Structure 1
Amino acid sequence: MIRMEARSLQGAVRPAAVAGHFYPADAGLLRTVVEGLLSDFAEAEPPARPPKALIVPHAGYVYSGAVAARAYNRLRGANGIRRVVLVGPAHRVGFYGIAAPEAAWFETPLGRVPVDQPAVEQACELSSVFRYDAAHAPEHCLEVQLPFLQRTLSEDFTLVPLVVGGATTNDMARTLEAVWGGPETLVVISSDLSHHLDYDAARIVDERTSRAIETLDEEGIEAGMACGRVPIQGLLRLARQRGLAAERLDLRCSGDTAGPRDRVVGYGAYAFGD
């Protein structure tokens, strides 16, 4: 595990790392796939107000795209969201703390999204947050959310992308508090649920996790219940403090969406609002 110091901005683009693997690399096909997933799970009427926060899964679209679409449909017709705080766990690079990018843009086949540099600088004032592009370069958990955001948000938006390594719930809650903003800011926590259990065991564990999320019980999210446990816990703490309510939108696993029921991965979608 390594702890890097802050580095100067390079103004670079963080290119797509998992296009063609987790989702289509062709822009036209990607647009069709995302819009198809959204239309399959569209609500009859859009919500009166968009959510303040979402929890969404981050596997390949064939596995978790339908569950993610349930959450992103809550943004349908939303106006006024101009910044997205996007947080997920590190899968490929080990480090202590919370990594913000040096890059100025994040790119997908659908285009580039600018990083909100003032918000990142504000987060980096905390001792646990620092700029570290190496954590972002191979990471899929944030990237797979971007095409959904690019197709659902009605306005151009900026991004506050944060990859979480060896951090505590306190670190996460303080970081989210620093960039929480108002109605112009949406918080998206990218996390899958249980990993590599058999189907029946996964359903039991994921139901426990879901109840903890729905009741804003941060201590109920135990190790092994979600890869994004610390980001979820930080969100639950702030949601409780700010009087938000959590709503379960979907709860399934890879055994429901894409195949065999041994060693499945759990997926949940949740919305938080007043």
Structure 2
Amino acid sequence: MNVSVRPPAVAGIFYPAIADALARVIDGLLAGAAGGDVLATHAPKALIVPHAGYVYSGEMAAKAFACLLPFAGRIRRVVLLGPTHRVPVRGLAAPTAMVSAFATPLGEVPLNTRALDAVADLPQVTHSDAVHAWEHSLEVQLPFLQTVLGRFELVPLVVGESDAEAVADVLDQLWGGEETLIVISSDLSHYHAYDKACRIDSATLARMLALATDIRNVEACGATPVNGLLLAAQRHGLTARALGLCNSGDTAGDRSRVVGYTALALSAAIHER
């Protein structure tokens, strides 16, 4: 069987296409985030991270990935879910067996075929390379992960028409131990005026922190995978911690039509004695 590598689709658009330039951008973003709210004593099991161009949401994304720095040596597998933007799909789309790795300008990330095989028979899981070919919601997370983790294996799933229960069931199957990190890719509200967006996104973030599972697509473009993670977090006893909240009007856009961004880290609850 001939296998192939999924090439980068949005390099040069969402982030730099030249490896040295990309590395400098990510190093700078992580350096800016590392002095902030890093979970230095408790490893996150899951992250919720925005997926816009780095000029817009890169600072917020870096807040999430900086949380991994003290624990990077433990993480060998990343389960990465994000919403489909270009190709409609029912359920969760995995790559076909023809794809062996995803590439960015920083190199190739091998797929964890054993994990993909473990969920292949679930009715909500389908296979489509077309869904993955131009999807940016997963791709933009990879250079950050490559920089922070070094070598790891990827379990990429693009989420289309589904529900929280179906997504949570897939996450339960892939949960693993400390070697497995779950990353959910999602922005918040889209194209409201700045003040209105701030009110909407603050309310959405509060519900995420409460592990609500009824986030709507107009509140977060990745609402379905977000809701699935929050349901799984309830099942596994995780708590959520906000790392930041902003929108494109705070970073590189005008304030008449903004997109919201947040970063959350979810980890096992700490019980004080």
Tell me the TM-score normalised to structure 2 length. 0.94
Q: Distance in 2 between matches of 1:10 and 1:136?
A: 18
The CA deviation string for residues 143-175 of structure 1, in whole angstroms up to 9 with x for no partner, is 00000000111x521000000011111111111
SS in 1 for 2:140: helix
Residues 25-104 of structure 1 mapped to structure 2, 5 A cutoff: 25-43=17-35, 47-78=40-71, 79-102=73-96, 103-104=99-100
Q: Distance in 1 between matches of 2:132 and 2:142?
A: 14
Match of 2:159 among 152, 156, 164: 164
Could you tell me whether the CA contact under 8 Å between 2:50 and 2:263 is conserved in 1?
Answer: yes
Amino acid at match of 2:260: G
Q: Distance in 2 between matches of 1:259 and 1:80?
A: 37
Q: Distance in 1 between matches of 2:23 and 2:48?
A: 22
Q: Distance in 2 between matches of 1:46 and 1:217?
A: 22
Could you tell me whether the CA contact under 8 Å between 1:43 and 1:73 is conserved in 2?
Answer: no
Q: Distance in 2 between matches of 1:33 and 1:142?
A: 18
Inter-CA distance 10–91: structure 2 relative to 1 (3 Å threshold): farther
SS in 2 for 1:126: coil
Q: Distance in 2 between matches of 1:253 and 1:58?
A: 12
Shift of 1:46: 6.0
Q: Distance in 2 between matches of 1:169 and 1:51?
A: 21
- For structure 2, the 5+ residue unaligned runs are 269-273
Shift of 1:241: 1.3
Note the aligned Cα RMSD (angstroms).
1.2
Where does residue 258 of structure 2 map in the other structure? Answer: 264
- For structure 1, the 5+ residue unaligned runs are 1-8
Q: Distance in 2 between matches of 1:46 and 1:26?
A: 31
**Residue 189 (structure 2) pairs with residue 223 (structure 1):** no
Shift of 1:55: 0.2
The CA deviation string for residues 9-49 of structure 1, in whole angstroms up to 9 with x for no partner, is 75210000000000000000000000000001113776123
Shift of 1:77: 2.6
Inter-CA distance 48–10: structure 2 relative to 1 (3 Å threshold): farther
Percentage of matched positions with identical amino acids: 52
SS in 2 for 1:230: helix
SS in 2 for 1:205: helix
Where does residue 139 of structure 1 map in the other structure? Answer: 135
Amino acid at match of 1:126: L
Q: Distance in 1 between matches of 2:228 and 2:160?
A: 14
Q: Indicate the larger mover: 60-69 or 40-49.
A: 40-49
Q: Distance in 2 between matches of 1:266 and 1:10?
A: 41
Could you tell me whether the CA contact under 8 Å between 2:165 and 2:231 is conserved in 1?
Answer: no
Could you tell me whether the CA contact under 8 Å between 2:217 and 2:224 is conserved in 1?
Answer: no
SS in 2 for 1:159: strand
Q: Distance in 2 between matches of 1:107 and 1:245?
A: 32
Q: Distance in 2 between matches of 1:116 and 1:174?
A: 18
Shift of 1:259: 2.3
Q: How many residues align?
A: 264
Tell me the TM-score normalised to structure 1 length. 0.94
SS in 2 for 1:48: coil
SS in 1 for 2:93: strand
SS in 1 for 2:175: coil
Q: Distance in 1 between matches of 2:81 and 2:242?
A: 19
SS in 1 for 2:42: coil
Q: Distance in 1 between matches of 2:121 and 2:142?
A: 26
Q: Distance in 2 between matches of 1:130 and 1:10?
A: 20
Shift of 1:217: 1.1
